[in-house]
Amino acid sequence: MNPPGAHATPLPRTGDAAEDYGEAGTRGQTVLAARVIEKIAGQVASDESSAGGSSGGFLGIGTRADLSARPKASVELAGNIATLRVEVGMLYPVPLRQATEELRRRIATRVTELTGVDVRQVDIRISWLTTGTNGRRRLL
């Protein structure tokens, strides 16, 4: 039994390759695990924006904010349509509306490009903000 996932849609191509679509179904199908989409979304958020995640800790205890860590993402799939939820941390004081709107756009675009899954909505929760000074001056 296959785990729940999304059926990858082939990227639109032109020319003779487009005629292969009908034959593709007879050769098999590609199923993406939801976890793949979650990891891609998290990696896109980490690589292509200033958003960060959490690192360290054990069983969610003792985690610390880390701008270089991959944000946690989860996906809800309905066929080939995905709704993503991303939990991110950001630098303070960036304009949060602009930054999250850009992040949402990047995640939706890149996940669709890389997987063929149609990302309809990206919910973003800002879980922490860092000033870059970690609250205290660094001891000399």
Partner 1 sequence: MRQTAGTLNRTWLTILGILCLAAGTALILQASGTLPTLLNTAPAWQSVVTGDLHAFLAPQGVAAVILIIGVIIGVLGLLWIIAQVPRRNPAGAYRLHGDGSRGFTLCDPSVLAAAVEKQINTLPGVVTSAALLRGTAYAPDLTLKVTVNDRADVQDVIHRIQTTTLPELSSALEAPLQSSRLQIDISGRTQSTGTVVHSTGTVVY
Positions that interact with partner 1 (CB under 8 A): 83-84, 92-98, 100-101, 104, 108, 120-131, 133-140
Cβ nearer to partner 1, comparing 15 with 109:
109
For the bound state, the minimum distance from the C-beta of residue 56 to partner 1, rounded and expressed in Å, comes to: 18
Burial class (CB in 10 A: 0-12, 13-18, 19+), 80: middle
Cβ nearer to partner 1, comparing 34 with 128:
128
Cβ nearer to partner 1, comparing 27 with 37:
37
Cβ nearer to partner 1, comparing 5 with 102:
102
Cβ nearer to partner 1, comparing 25 with 119:
119
C-alpha pair distances (Å), 83 with each of 23, 25, 26, 53, 74: 30, 26, 29, 19, 8
Handedness of CA 55, 60, 64, 67 (dihedral sign): positive
CA–CA separation, 136 and 92 (whole Å) = 15
For the bound state, the minimum distance from the C-beta of residue 27 to partner 1, rounded and expressed in Å, comes to: 35
CA–CA separation, 124 and 83 (whole Å) = 11
For the bound state, the minimum distance from the C-beta of residue 90 to partner 1, rounded and expressed in Å, comes to: 9
For the bound state, the minimum distance from the C-beta of residue 31 to partner 1, rounded and expressed in Å, comes to: 25
Q: Helix 96-115 to helix 34-47 angle, to the nearest 10 degrees?
A: 130
Handedness of CA 77, 81, 85, 89 (dihedral sign): positive
For the bound state, the minimum distance from the C-beta of residue 138 to partner 1, rounded and expressed in Å, comes to: 7
